[in-house]
């Protein structure tokens, strides 16, 4: 069994645990599924993980994000790409599932991570400096896979397209 498959199975088991849910969930409809692209995260240890991410590129798509979504596949996420490098801050208003937020600099390096963000909160979760984008994945996944600040995101938005799409 490859490391990638083992890690994804472990992540699926972790994500199958009941998520913290509010007794009073807000009512609303999630935005339609956005166009997807492949993205890889390469750790400093040499592991590489592949994700299929929805591309939130317009202000309207970014303001809606993953609000009102009740679930997300273990190898999925949403990538927010900004037209310029800048500090960014995210919250979880109307977001029903816990997320890990990876703040990514212009060169594709993960600057900082907010893990297991609490759903349905307006707590500001800022970048540790200017970023080109933010990747949201299921809460706890970065811990399960060992993804840390300094690891590299391979995607065209950062000029870091991967040489191969095979996971580690």
Q: How confident is the model at residue 2 (pLDDT cuts 50, 70, 90)?
A: very low
Structural domain contains residue 41: yes
Lowest mean pLDDT among 12-21, 49-58, 157-166: 12-21
Instruction: Specify the higher pLDDT residue, 1 or 7.
Output: 7
What CATH number should be reported for the domain holding residue 107?
Answer: 2.60.120.1140
Mean pLDDT confidence for 29-51 = 96
Mean pLDDT confidence for 65-82 = 97
Q: Which domain holds residue 95?
A: 3-14+33-158
Structural domain contains residue 23: no
Structural domain contains residue 97: yes
Structural domain contains residue 165: no
Structural domain contains residue 75: yes
Structural domain contains residue 46: yes
**HEC profile of 10-78:** HHHHHHCCCCCCCCCCCCCCCCCCCCEEEEEEECCCCCEEEEEEEEECCHHHHHHCCCCCCCCCCCEEE
Check: CB of residue 160 under 8 Å from CB of residue 107: yes
Structural domain contains residue 26: no
pTM: 0.84
Tally of domains within the chain: 1
Q: How confident is the model at residue 9 (pLDDT cuts 50, 70, 90)?
A: very low
Residue 42 has pLDDT above 70, yes or no: yes
Average pLDDT, the chain: 87
């Amino acid at each position: 069994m490859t490391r990638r498959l083992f890690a994804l199975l472990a992540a699926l088991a972790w994500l199958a645990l009941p998520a913290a849910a509010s007794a009073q969930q807000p009512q609303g409809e999630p935005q339609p599924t956005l166009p997807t692209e492949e993205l890889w995260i390469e750790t400093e240890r040499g592991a590489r993980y592949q994700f299929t991410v929805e591309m939130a590129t317009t202000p309207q798509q970014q303001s809606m994000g993953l609000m009102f979504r009740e679930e997300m596949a273990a190898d999925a996420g949403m990538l927010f790409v900004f037209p310029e490098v800048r500090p960014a801050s995210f919250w979880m208003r109307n977001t029903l599932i816990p997320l890990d937020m990876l703040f990514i600099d212009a060169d594709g390096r993960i600057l900082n991570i907010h893990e297991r963000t609490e759903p349905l909160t307006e707590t500001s979760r800022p970048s540790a400096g200017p970023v080109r984008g933010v990747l949201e994945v299921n809460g706890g996944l970065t811990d399960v896979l060992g993804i840390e600040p300094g690891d590299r995101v391979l995607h065209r938005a950062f000029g870091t397209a991967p040489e191969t799409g095979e996971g580690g």
